[in-house]
Amino acid sequence: MDAAWRIEVRGIVQGVGFRPFVHRLVTAIGIRGHVRNAGGIAAGFEIVESETAPGAARAIPPDLATCAECLRELFDPANRRYRYPFINCTACGPRATIIESLPYDRARTSMRGFEMCPACAAEYHDPADRRFHAEPIACASCGPRLRFMNMTGETALGAAIDVLASGGVVAVKGLGGFQLVCDAINDEPVSRIRQVKARDAKPLAVMARDLITAGALVDLSDSDRLLLFAPSAPIVLAPRRHGVLAPGVCHGMPDIGVFLPYTPLHHLLLEALRRPLVVTSANHADNPMLIEDVAGPGGGRGAHP
């Protein structure tokens, strides 16, 4: 006699690839049924449309740093998402910053305006693909585009890199709002950021291209190294090494915060510049987070990186 089970899992189960994971697991075992967010028995096993149930968990899944597999694709010339600044999968990418309401489905996110191309749609509906039900799924053919002033795509990226390389400051829209970015070795743009933010002495966070670069900036413990690679991409406070960063980054403080690139756009910037960057919030103290785009000469809409 067949047995029927209803299993309810609570907590942060949206935006972390839980439904695709369950689908792969039970399909391999041969179980029939369905999985849904907050949610009668089908042939085989399927992901069905989400519904809001009374008392359903309202936890919002956090944004996740670019995973190793997406990073490999980002720098693989043979991959169709080569150098695409918004690459993601069920294991990484934006979650909280694109959600407009729960349950977490594409139609309830800022990605709803980007219709999937046939290639992305095929991945999204393929249980064997790691982008199976990845709600922010996109590519250069159908997803958001990088914009800098009136330029788009690689031209925009190259222009921003040129500004940074020449000692300028660039506002980058990252996960969670805008950031002010500059060369962390050049004291002139660092001083400019301090002036704009009215931040006289507090140390500025520094983004390092990789673990080797981070280790050249600060004295890292084993636990620090593990933290740097966490999916949440935290800023790790560690004793600074002297003689590398611009004096204005630290203002004489013994410790500074370092972190690794956590979006594809950050990875592209660091890969091109090959130097540590000051990456700090563009918000003024005690003011709301800056999230709205200011349309440039080319107009356009905002999107996550």
Q: Please tell me the least confidently modeled range out of 10-14, 87-91, 199-203, 274-278.
A: 10-14
- The two structure tokens encoding residue 174: 């990252």
Q: Please tell me the least confidently modeled range out of 104-118, 171-185, 250-264, 283-297.
A: 283-297
**Rounded CA separation 109/103 (Å):** 10
For residue 279, the cross-strand partners are: 181
* Type of residue found at 71: L
Query: Taking the domains of the chain in order of start, what are their residue ranges?
Result: 147-281
For residue 141, the cross-strand partners are: none
Q: Among 89, 73, 112, which residue's Cα sits nearest to residue 16?
A: 89
Of all residues in the chain, the percent with pLDDT exceeding 70 is: 87
Of all residues in the chain, the percent with pLDDT exceeding 90 is: 63
- The 10s digit of each residue's pLDDT in 10-38 is 777 766 677 777 777 877 777 888 777 76
pTM recorded for the entire structure: 0.81
Q: How confident is the model at residue 5 (pLDDT cuts 50, 70, 90)?
A: confident
The domain made up of 147-281 has a fold known as DHBP synthase (3.90.870)
Q: Among 102, 31, 110, 96, which residue's Cα sits nearest to residue 64?
A: 96
> What are the angstrom distances between the C-alpha of 110 and each of 69, 106, 171, 303?
24, 8, 21, 8
- The 10s digit of each residue's pLDDT in 31-59 is 888 777 764 347 455 666 665 555 444 67
Q: Among 14, 21, 9, 179, which residue's Cα sits nearest to residue 109?
A: 14
Q: Is the pLDDT of residue 115 over 80?
A: yes
Residue 92 makes CB contacts below 8 A (sequence gap 6+) with 64, 65, 66, 67, 70, 231
Q: Is the pLDDT of residue 285 over 80?
A: no
Selected residue with higher pLDDT from 52 and 78: 78
- The two structure tokens encoding residue 110: 């800022």
**Rounded CA separation 72/66 (Å):** 10
pLDDT at 240: 94
**Rounded CA separation 134/10 (Å):** 20
Burial label for 223, CB within 10 Å (0-12, 13-18, 19+), is exposed
As a whole number, mean pLDDT of residues 162-188 equals: 94
